[in-house]
Chains A and B, each alone.
Chain A
Amino acid sequence: MLRYTIPLIIFTALVLFFAVGLQRDPRQVPSPFIDKPAPELGVSQLRTPSKEIYRSDLLGKPALINVWASWCVACRAEHEVLMRLARETRLPIIGLNYKDERGAALQWLANLGDPYAAIAVDTDGQVGIEWGVYGVPESFLLDPEGVIRYKQIGPLTWKVVEDKLLPLIRSFETQGG
């Protein structure tokens, strides 16, 4: 009896092991930044290039940092979600315009609407490297202390907003008050 049950147990364990492994998305590289202070921005702003934006500008309330570019196809789908987020919540959305051309980026906002409270310009991808960005779009949720609490790789969907972002933002409020 044992000679059949032991291989069966091993086989079942392997099947479970592979089933779990295959369902994980290898593109979702866990960010080492979760629960760590957000890196610095320190670059000029898209709409007013004479003004710079710093990490300290984001403190005091939760903020969403959204990495985007006008050449990014997935960003187009995400844009509607950002627009709705800007409309329905008071969460400030800070754009990080990644390796884009200023004219093309401004045109994009003129065409599709502008959900951003401010937009940092990352011309050569240097800020992206500091933030561990490896694809566009990516989004980081910062708590009021400027600590990264969630990272979305790939486009934000409304489901992600409802399931992840909003509960986290509510948890900041209860912690703070």
Chain B
Amino acid sequence: MIRTLLLMVILAGPQVVFAADPAIFKFDDPSQEARFQQLAEELRCLVCQNQSLADSHADLAGDLRREIYQKMQQGASNEEIVDFLVQRYGDFVLYRPPMQPTTYLLWFGPVLLLLLGFGVFIVAMRRRHQTLTPTLSEAEHRRMAKLLEEENS
């Protein structure tokens, strides 16, 4: 019983915190609220850097949520809002970094590593195959052919 209660408290905790924020902002349309929530989750808080604007309790995160809300009320598109923040805080505010020369390694690094690993695997397998397959010398070949011939006749 106590355990169940404790579990309930633990599970309820973050949700209560999470639900507390959007209540400040009033949306006429639930889809707008979902859009707001999605934007706030995609943007990173600069103060608590491993939290999104939606999760963070930092003062600045609250200010930026308000900024997003106001921009949405003014009819700004998602791109316009994200651009506004990137212009001021840099690409750092994005949880999904843009694809550009400085981030190519980030985007393609894992694929490159996978290909490299696969290449090493193939080479290693081939080598193993070669050492395991016995090779006969010219003399042995002739002897084997002769033995087979004798058997068939």
Asked if A177 is an interface residue, CB under 8 A from chain B, the answer is no
Closest-CB distance, A7 to chain B (whole angstroms): 11
Known contacts being A131-B88, A132-B89, is A125 close to B63, with CB within 8 Å? yes
Interface residues on B, range: 10 to 19
From known contacts A26-B49, A29-B46, infer whether A125 and B60 are also in contact, taking CB-CB under 8 Å. Answer: yes
Residue on A nearest B45 in the bound complex, by CB: A134
Q: What B residues does A134 contact at CB under 8 A?
A: 46-47, 60, 89
B86 touches A32 (CB 8 A): yes
User: What interface size band does chain A fall in?
Assistant: 10 to 19
**Which secondary structure dominates chain B's binding surface?**
helix
Which A residues are in CB contact (< 8 Å) with B67? 129
Contact string against A for B residues 82-110, beta-carbon threshold 8 Å, 1 for contact and 0 otherwise: 00001111101000000000000000000
A-B contacts, 18 listed (Cβ < 8 Å): A27-B49, A29-B89, A29-B90, A29-B92, A30-B92, A31-B90, A32-B86, A33-B88, A125-B59, A125-B63, A128-B63, A129-B63, A129-B64, A129-B67, A130-B88, A131-B88, A134-B89, A135-B60
Give the 10 A-B CB pairs with smallest separation, nearest first: A134-B46, A132-B88, A32-B90, A125-B63, A29-B92, A132-B89, A134-B60, A129-B67, A30-B90, A29-B46
